[in-house]
Structure 1
């Protein structure tokens, strides 16, 4: 860490969705603290989202261990640093004991539920001006996304997989929606279909392969990293 840096320990979610929704806090802190340097703690699935944060010192992947041993391991990695700020979106006990000038720790509210972006903003007391989600990408990642999405026509993006059965929509319904939108008489006529997911979702992508012509199909389920998939998603007309 460079001399004069303001070290921030940022503990975020295990889940991609929750990590994205609170990601704007990193952008806000980067903008307001010019010498900020981040150590970001995230679960194995969400950690790649933060690999291109320009003020990043380190990512610590918090993989769950038996008897909450992952928190002990994390403590051993962060206890020797005198932090400028600790932001803990997990509300862990660890953040109360590390050495820091200031703490911003999530606590369960007693009022009605609020949007996750507002919930994250409350941690920094900026709920009147909440930070919208923001994921940093490099020019190289954006160029790769340009290559993968090169072609003509608007892009319809679908993510047919879900992390549990109750959130899963039948594949045939995704197929019907895509066909209606991309139909020659539909609102996205002449468009292309982009399918997102992990390698384990490749079978679902193949199930949607026949919706469009071969040169109109973009499959991002096989070997596309998370940040490149995000950059591609920015190029979609509808998700």
Structure 2
């Protein structure tokens, strides 16, 4: 390319995408990357995101810069973000968190979340409305070779030992928000029931979670015995996504990993207690929910969800998506 070509070549649109802070919300909003590429082709995308969710974007198309913004007391993270981006003249700023900081960022166009976008429908539809997109911005993960290699390094040695290889059901017994975690002893009881069920003969039970999730996962892992695979705290969130993508089925609390599983295309069952399953249920065609109260607008403690109810829902998940395999 000659200097004349460089001088006359159109500049690339610069897009700042402020992602949600939590993992689950980041997955729900992940379709924004695809929409940016559609509305502003060849955009140079910068994502501001929490450290936990940052790996989601390292292989996303068009994303060239990632700014890690972890929450701080008294909103200190917003000041850091403003200092990091104020020197750039942005073409577009997309803020899923509705911060006042976005209005101080120099940009031609702003899309800023507001509660006015909430219409009582699933959160993916709220994100779609924010971007004025013509169709639903379904979640999408960009699982790279590094994540697959990280997952294989943990899973493959465990498949080679114990009871050997077999189909995998991933279990996520952890949710970090109050009231969302089904009791750990019931996860163990669920594993015991599946071990005794002919449908799951030869299956392996893979426990997934973050670095601090060993205690809630321990009872189910112990119940699995030599059929267990431990993927708790074994890699970043994209490695966990790669691990879950290797599973035939997934059962988990209403959590970030539940949304990861659905976005990865793994048939997913989400367990719900006192949260809105109709708004935050796993998104996708291969998803189901089981709730302690199945009446929309009503709630019950997740402890009201029995082992028999979750087992029955797991059997339905199996019969729908794995029974013919």
TM-score where L is the length of structure 1 = 0.88
Instruction: Mark the CA change 1:68 to 1:111 in structure 2 (over 3 Å): closer, same or farther.
Output: closer
Contact 2:17-2:94 within 8 A present in 1 as well: yes
Q: CA RMSD in A?
A: 2.2
2:125 to 100, 118, 127: 118
Distance 2:215 2:109 in 1: 47
Question: For residues 19 and 184 of structure 1, do their structure 2 counterparts lie closer, same or farther at Cα, with a shift above 3 Å needed?
Answer: same
Alignment match, 2:308: none
| Corresponding residue for residue 222 of structure 1 | 233
Instruction: Say yes or no: does 1:171 pair with 2:184.
Output: yes
Whole-angstrom distance in 1 between the partners of 2:229 and 2:118: 44
Judge which range, 115-124 or 195-204, deviates more. Answer: 195-204
Residue 216 (structure 2) pairs with residue 204 (structure 1): yes
Q: Does 2:248 correspond to 1:237?
A: yes
Check whether the contact 2:55–2:237 (CA below 8 A) recurs between aligned residues.
yes
Match in the other structure for 2:169 = 156
Q: Deviations over 1:159-213 (max 9, x none)?
A: 111113311211121122222234352x332111111111211223332223234
Aligned residues: 235
Aligned with 1:193 (options 178, 197, 205):
205
In the aligned structure 1, how far is the partner of 2:201 from the partner of 2:11? 55
Do the aligned partners of residues 140 and 46 (structure 1) sit closer, same or farther apart at CA in structure 2, a change above 3 Å counting?
closer
Deviates more, 1:219-228 or 1:64-73: 64-73
Q: Report matched runs for 1:1-239 at 5 Å.
A: 4-109=11-116, 112-126=119-133, 128-150=134-156, 151=159, 152-185=165-198, 187-214=199-226, 216-239=227-250
2:89 and 2:69 mapped to 1: Cα distance? 20
**The structure with more helix, counted as a fraction of residues:** 2
SS at match of 1:58: strand
Distance 1:70 1:131, change over 3 A: same
* Residue 143 of structure 1, CA deviation: 3.5
Give 5+ residue unaligned stretches, structure 2: 1-9, 160-164, 251-325
Match in the other structure for 2:284:
none
Within 2, Cα distance between the matches of 1:61 and 1:108? 25
Larger RCO: 1 or 2 (CA < 8 Å, sep 6+): 1
Residues of 1 paired with 2:40 and 2:108: CA distance?
14
TM (norm. structure 2) is 0.66
Q: Is the 8 A contact 2:17 2:45 kept in 1?
A: yes
